[in-house]
A and B are shown apart, each in its own frame.
Chain A
């Protein structure tokens, strides 16, 4: 069974701090990695995708991928209360068909 693991949290950070969210996955050959954000009572929405080792930046968000260690992380700089949500890591596993496997999500709380 191919798995995606996340710490469920909640992760609490003060406003303006850097929030660091981590995700590990079970298949070293996987190629596609995603971070979705889900506000309470709402549907998930894509924040970042990353396909190669290293960092990918988009505004206040940076995704980091380390395939050798099988982890992907999401950094949120200058965290705002509006960033409070659950962050879902998703992986498209090699040989797993055309589907995504999601982690259980990490709840982030940004406190004033």
Chain B
């Protein structure tokens, strides 16, 4: 089954404790992206990647890091999480570029205390 998977699905952590949210897709897509979704603010892009070793900032990259060492994986790293990073996070992938259909993962709900 073609899909985007994220782990963990739910995470409660404390301020300053480094964490990684994994994202993997099995569709051989070049394009991958991370979004956060907050009430009243909608879906905002954090980082995206056009291919292996090619990443670029989205609209809200502060406090996040990403890497793309393999085509299928695109982990999101919070090196020192803060409460304002409490959010619902989605990973997405697409064939080639952003304006092809983006397939979203199930989401990761993160709470930073």
Contact = CB atoms under 8 A, between A and B. Distances in A.
Report which residue of A46, A49, A97, A98 has the largest number of chain B beta carbons within 10 angstroms of its beta carbon: A98
B98 interface: yes
A64 to B, nearest CB: 18
Chain B interface residue bracket vs A = 20 to 34
A46 B102 contact: yes
A32 interface: yes
A25 interface: no
A104 B41 contact: yes
Q: Is the interface of A mostly helix, strand, loop or mixed?
A: loop
A43 B42 CA distance: 13
A56 to B, nearest CB: 15
Nearest to A41: B107
A106 B59 CA distance: 21
A55 interface: no
B102 A98 contact: no
- 5 shortest interchain CB distances as A-B pairs: A104-B42, A43-B104, A102-B43, A32-B99, A46-B101
20 contacts: A43-B106, A43-B107, A44-B90, A44-B102, A45-B104, A46-B101, A49-B99, A49-B101, A98-B31, A98-B48, A98-B50, A98-B97, A98-B98, A99-B33, A99-B56, A100-B102, A101-B59, A102-B35, A102-B43, A102-B45
